[in-house]
Amino acid sequence: MKAVVVTDFGAQPEFVDLPTPEPGAGEILVRVHAAGVNPFDWKVTDGALKDSVEHTFPLVMGSDGAGVVERTGPGVTRFRPGDRVYGQFMRLPHGHGSYAEYTVAEQDGNIALIPQALPFTLAAALPTASVTAYQAVQAARVESGHTLLINGASGGVGQSAIQFAARAGARVLATGTSDLADHLRDLGAHHVIDFTQAPTHEQVAAAYPEGIDAVIDLVTPTGGDINPMAELLRAGSTLVSTNYATDPDALAARDILGVNLGNRPTVETLTTLAELAAAGELRVRIDAEVPLADAPAIVARARAGHATGKTVIVP
Ligand SMILES: NC(=O)c1ccc[n+]([C@@H]2O[C@H](COP(=O)([O-])OP(=O)(O)OC[C@H]3O[C@@H](n4cnc5c(N)ncnc54)[C@H](OP(=O)(O)O)[C@@H]3O)[C@@H](O)[C@H]2O)c1
């Protein structure tokens, strides 16, 4: 099969031929129809989990994918050949990922059935970004009438988070450049903050001097200074970081709940999101659909930023 792999931490992705994997006991072989691209994909190949998880090289890149069950291994009861499925397929100890024509998953892994109405490309765009958005909005304790800032709202996680927060009844402040403002408002943002015109925290502080109820920060890197976001918050509020940038103890001293969120997909959450997307109630903007052979170039481009939605690889 064709696949995109790295041969070591920090190595450039390569488009190669690999043997098609065989499903073992409790595993399914999935013919990948679409693979979603996430910053996590290259953070992992750069070595983010080097010290905590075993990796096997060559390592097929990618987590998110959607496709059809081709074969099942012994003992598989949850899936049958022909099932349309999606979820997270990154299995670092086995060298498996979603940027490939085929991948192997555990039947008990983060894999769910998808409705017939949900196209593979849309399904593949959901697992990491939309599960993170869904769980970030829950973690932010958003309630009707709350004012919430989503910092980094123009990307994959942010666009879904706008929709979940707006549906919860929040007043959503979303960062984005002027070319995206109409789109972000259409998703549910009440106020779009152009972070290229003036620092986001200055704009929000000027508009909400009494403080806001929650921030979901998708921008501040691990070890970065998230204090300007914390200073926007009133007592009893919540600061959620997807990059482990908050110090919950320091925030607790200011009566702010700090949450470092790692997404934890469950089959139930994946099923809910697939149903919402199939019904058009969760919208995902697809920036580009690219062939597998172009994935190395796409990863290089995506690393440079400027996501305005999701990129999907179509093997
Ligand atoms: N912990 C977890 O489980 C988890 C899960 C998913 C994602 N994440 C992390 O969460 C972050 C967002 O993920 P994503 O998939 O949404 O990434 P993405 O699709 O690349 O989107 C990031 C967005 O942030 C914008 N941005 C960059 N700098 C900004 C700034 N200073 N102010 C406002 N916006 C800014 C980018 O626009 P420009 O590039 O045009 O500036 C881009 O639109 C990433 O760091 C990712 O690794 C963590």
Q: Residues 97, 147: one domain?
A: no
- Lowest-pLDDT range, 21-25, 77-81, 304-308? 304-308
Short-list 160, 177, 168, CA closest to 213: 168
Query: Angle, to 10 degrees, between the axis of helix 267-278 and the axis of helix 127-139?
Result: 100
Query: Is residue 119 located within the same domain as residue 166?
Result: no
What pLDDT sits at residue 120? 98
Q: Please tell me whether residues 113 and 137 are part of one structural domain.
A: no
CATH number at residue 141: 3.40.50.720
Do 200 and 247 lie in one domain? The reply is yes
Burial class (CB in 10 A: 0-12, 13-18, 19+), 74: exposed
pLDDT at residue 51 in the model: 97
In a domain, 306, yes or no: yes
In the block, residue with structure tokens 């989503």: 150
Q: What is the mean pLDDT of residues 178-199?
A: 98
Q: Evaluate: CB of 262 within 6 angstroms of ligand 1.
A: yes
Give percent above pLDDT 70 in the chain. 100
Are 14 and 120 in the same domain?
Answer: yes
Strands 191-193 and 171-175: parallel
Q: Which CATH number fits the domain that encloses residue 72?
A: 3.90.180.10
Residue 298 has a pLDDT of: 96
- Continuous segment of H or E residues that includes residue 135: helix 127-139
At residue 100 the predicted structure's pLDDT band, cuts being 50, 70 and 90, is very high
Residue 135 CB less than 6 A away from ligand 1: no
The answer to whether the bond into 58 is cis (omega within 30° of 0) is yes
How many structural domains are present in the chain?
A: 2
C-beta 263 within 6 A of ligand 1 = yes
Percent of the chain residues past pLDDT 90, beyond the cut: 99
304 inside domain: yes
Instruction: Quote the mean pLDDT of the chain.
Output: 97
Residue 267 belongs to some domain of the structure: no
Q: Say yes or no: CB of residue 309 within 6 Å of ligand 1.
A: no
For residue 106, give the nearest of 114, 96, 116 by alpha carbon.
Answer: 96
Mean pLDDT of 273-289: 97
Mean pLDDT on 82-105: 98
CA of 72 to the centre of ligand 1 (A): 36
Per the listing, tokens 């200073």 go with 231
How confident is the model at residue 27, as a pLDDT? 98
In a domain, 15, yes or no: yes
Say which residue the tokens 């003992």 belong to: 75
**Range of 157's domain?**
129-260
Q: Is the CB of 299 under 6 A from ligand 1?
A: no
175 within ligand 1 shell (Cβ under 6 A): yes
* 115, 133: one domain: no
Same-domain status, 245 and 166: yes
Structure tokens at 54: 């075993």
Assess whether the C-beta atom of 134 lies below 6 angstroms from ligand 1: no
Residue 266 belongs to some domain of the structure: no
- Is 276 among the domain residues? no
Report residue 182's pLDDT band, with 50, 70 and 90 as the boundaries. Answer: very high
**pLDDT value for 305:** 87
145 and 77 fall within a common domain: no
Question: Do 299 and 215 lie in a common domain?
Answer: no
- Mutating to test ligand 1, I would choose from 242, 264, 285, 311 the residue with most ligand atoms within 8 A of its C-beta, which is 242
Same domain, 82 and 146: no
With a 6 Å cutoff on the Cβ, whether 128 touches ligand 1 is yes
One-letter amino acid for residue 61 of the chain: M
Quick check: 281 and 67 in contact, CB under 8 A? no
On whether residue 310 sits in a domain, the answer given is yes
**One domain for residues 69 and 118:** yes
Would 268 be classed as within a structural domain?
Answer: no
Q: Looking at the structure, do residues 69 and 112 belong to the same domain, yes or no? A: yes
Tokens of 28: 């399914």
Ligand 1 atom 9: the closest Cα is on which residue? Answer: 242
Q: How far is the CA of 287 from the centre of ligand 1 (A)?
A: 14
- Pair 81, 72: CB distance under 8 Å: yes
